[in-house]
Amino acid sequence: MRRFSEELGLIDYVTAQRVYHSIYEYVSYDSEIERAFAMQLDID
């Protein structure tokens, strides 16, 4: 169980966008379009 909880805490900061108006702290993205979409959703 400890190993499982440790793996959930890993965030790939290279492909993650910090958001403030979500239930999650970061949104993972695969392209710049997805990143821009996540940023726009956070602003709205």
27-42: per-residue pLDDT in tens? 888 889 988 998 998 8
pLDDT score of 8 more than 60 = no
The 3-class secondary structure across the chain, one letter per residue, is CHHHHHHHCCCCHHHEEECCCCCCCEEECCCHHHHHHHHHHHHC
pLDDT number for residue 1: 41
Q: pLDDT-based confidence at 10, cuts 50/70/90? A: low
Q: pLDDT-based confidence at 5, cuts 50/70/90? A: very low
Average pLDDT over the chain reads: 77
